[in-house]
Amino acid sequence: MEQRETSHEYKPHYPVSEDTPKVFFEVSIGGVAEPQKIIFELFQDTVPRTAENFRCLCTGEKGCSDDNKLLFYKNCPFHRIVEGFTAQAGDITKGDGTGGISIYGKHFDDEPFGPKSSHLGPGIISMANDGPNSNSSQFFIVLSPLTYLDQVHVVFGQVIEGFDVLHAISRCGTASGIPKKPVIITECGQL
C-alpha cells in the first residue's frame, strides 16, 4: 500500500498573519477522486497589487477582461509540473502556458522585493513571467528551495494547508514538465 505524506511534514515558511487574505483551490488530480483543497495566504501586506490580482482571479469577481476573457482560475489546468521543482498554472486564456491576463490588463509591473520575497521551499507561490514587469495570471508553486529565483519572480503568498495535495501534484510532474495526468483547479475562492 502506498504511503501518503501528510501536512505535518511541511509547514509555512513565513509566520501566518490573521490580517492577510486566505484563498483556496480545489484541485482534481487525474479526475479519479474528489478534488482536494489547498489553502493559500496572500502577502497583501508586502505586495498588495500582486496579491490582489491572485485573490480576484480566485474569486472571479472581476468578470471578464476588455477582450471578453474570463478572469477566473476555475477550470484552469496546471500546465507545467516538474516533480520536486515547480507546479505552474494560471494561463486563463489558453491553458497551455502561452497566454494569461491580469485584472489590470495584459501585464502589470513587478512590485518591490521585500521581506517575504524568498523562494525558501515547498509551498511558496510566485508570479511566472517573461522578464521584468511582465506579470499576468500565471503563477508557480515552489516544490523545493529555489532561492536563485529571488529578485527575479515576485513571491506573493504561501501554502498554509494542503501540503499533502501539493505533494500529490508534484508526483504528477515529469522532466519535460508535461503532467503525467491532468491536474485541474475545479473550484477556487476566498475564505
Residues with a known catalytic role: 80, 85, 88, 129, 140, 149, 153
Strand-strand pairing, 139-142 and 155-161 = unpaired
DSSP one-letter string for 42-78: E-TTT-HHHHHHHHHHHHTTT-B-TT--B---TTEEE
- Are 122 and 142 spatial neighbours (Cβ–Cβ below 8 Å)? yes
For residue 117, how many other CB atoms are within 10 A of its CB?
21
- Are 182 and 77 spatial neighbours (Cβ–Cβ below 8 Å)? yes
